[in-house]
Structure 1
Amino acid sequence: MKAKQIPGVPWQHSGAYHDTESIKKIVASDLLAQKFEILKERFFSINHWKDYCGKGSADFRLFDSGGSYIERIPQKGDFMRIDIPGPGDIEAKGYDWVEIVLVDDHCSDDELERYLICCRPSKIPGSNTDHIAHFYSRESSSTFVISRGHDFIKTAVYGRNEIPNYKKTGFWGRIRNFLISTGGYTRITKMQWKSYTDGLLDF
């Protein structure tokens, strides 16, 4: 199978990928609009994603470009600090970091409304190092999407070009990232993303 080509999602060129999607069918248009408003509020409340997705899911926190914790709608140039169950980046005190590189609201032909947040592995915001605090390289991406059609609402995460980070990290980071890439950790992260997409739609 090939990676889906989704508008706004980076193209798959190399490495691993995943398409994780959850769909809830709702026929009544007024109920559909109501549920999507709830979904939008959840989607843009990054600091509360874990509340919707269960105790076993990753914990996300939103930070600005200077490294300060913030409670607001995410913007391009913000950062997410991720605490995924399991070993984290040693130099980042056990966390992984991504930068928000795109926030978009363009719809495709079969959508009435859509919102997208695209992230790439990054350094710790505010730091003066080029150390990428993530087990994937900077070329990798994760794109979070919610959308509303005529009779459905949908949540999705699309991972693209997932290549282990062996360059922009320290010695222990390279060992950790090697173990992750060879130890079946991708299956665990796939389960994490499915918990996320299902959890946002659990009303």
Structure 2
Amino acid sequence: MKPKQIPGVPIQKKGGFHDTESTKQFKILEINSKFAVLKERFFSINRWKEYCGHASADFKHFDASGELADRFPKKGDFIRIAIPGPGTVEAKGYDWVEIINISHRDTDKSESYLMMCRPSKEPNKLKGYVAHFYTPAATSSMLISKEGNILKAAVYGRNERPNFNASFWDKIRNFFIALGGIFGFGKIQWKILADGLLDFE
């Protein structure tokens, strides 16, 4: 199976990938109001676990200076992720990604928001390793869209390879977490998020 070609999502070159999508159908007259709800949930990163339940990873939103943020995200912000299972030694049990782009597309037929993230060091940490089980070449592109009477929430992972530029224990941890991701366990987590974002009926 080949990765989907989604506008704004990087081309798959090396490593693992996934296309994780959830859709929900609504009455056409209420699609705009439902999309407004989805947008609010999508950009409320600190509440993602609340939407997704106990099986989900925990996500926290930080600004570029490393302070906890409670607002819509912007380019240069960070997301701290606590995945089920062992965390990094480098970042005290967490994985970190930087938000490298947020884009909005609005046409006659559809509207979408895309938020792209990349593995990173902790905010304001000039030294040390990238605190994530994938290399910085990997991306996670999170998308919400409306088209007709259908809402979609999706995550597209590209170029996912284990991060071996790490301390000894983190190398081992990153290998097994990345291996699990490549074999589909990571997709399960993203599916929980995509489903959870749309579960507001």
TM-score, normalised with respect to structure 2: 0.95
2:60 aligned partner, one-letter code: R
DSSP 3-state at the match of 1:189: helix
- Residue in 1 that maps onto 2:192: 195
CA distance in 2, matches of 1:186, 1:107: 35
What displacement does 1:42 show?
0.1
Q: 1:152-186: per-residue Cα shift (whole Å, max 9, x none)?
A: 0000000000011012x211111111222345674
What aligned pairs does 1:1-203 form with structure 2 within 5 A after superposition?
1-26=1-26, 28-107=27-106, 110-111=109-110, 113-167=111-165, 169-183=166-180, 186-203=183-200
CA distance in 2, matches of 1:92, 1:152: 39
Q: 1:10·1:160 contact (CA, 8 Å) conserved in 2? A: yes
CA distance in 1, matches of 2:3, 2:45: 26
1:161 aligned partner, one-letter code: N
Total equivalences in the alignment? 200
CA distance in 2, matches of 1:68, 1:199: 26
Report the CA distance shift for 1:129/1:184 in structure 2 as closer, same or farther (over 3 A): same
CA distance in 1, matches of 2:45, 2:16: 25
1:17 aligned partner, one-letter code: F
Unaligned runs of 5+ in 2: none
Report the CA distance shift for 1:108/1:19 in structure 2 as closer, same or farther (over 3 A): farther
Identity across aligned pairs (percent)? 55
Report the CA distance shift for 1:128/1:10 in structure 2 as closer, same or farther (over 3 A): same
DSSP 3-state at the match of 1:2: coil
DSSP 3-state at the match of 2:173: helix
1:25 aligned partner, one-letter code: Q
CA distance in 2, matches of 1:7, 1:84: 28
What displacement does 1:135 show?
0.2
Report the CA distance shift for 1:98/1:184 in structure 2 as closer, same or farther (over 3 A): closer
1:52 aligned partner, one-letter code: Y
CA distance in 2, matches of 1:16, 1:202: 28
Q: 1:3-53: per-residue Cα shift (whole Å, max 9, x none)?
A: 001001111001000000001112x22211111111010001000001111
What displacement does 1:97 show?
0.1
TM-score, normalised with respect to structure 1: 0.94
Report the CA distance shift for 1:184/1:3 in structure 2 as closer, same or farther (over 3 A): closer
CA distance in 1, matches of 2:68, 2:183: 28
CA distance in 1, matches of 2:11, 2:106: 18
Q: 2:62·2:77 contact (CA, 8 Å) conserved in 1? A: yes
CA distance in 2, matches of 1:21, 1:78: 24
DSSP 3-state at the match of 1:124: coil
CA RMSD of aligned residues (A): 1.5
CA distance in 2, matches of 1:196, 1:37: 18
DSSP 3-state at the match of 1:105: strand
DSSP 3-state at the match of 1:119: strand
Unaligned runs of 5+ in 1: none
1:160 aligned partner, one-letter code: R
Q: 1:7·1:108 contact (CA, 8 Å) conserved in 2? A: no
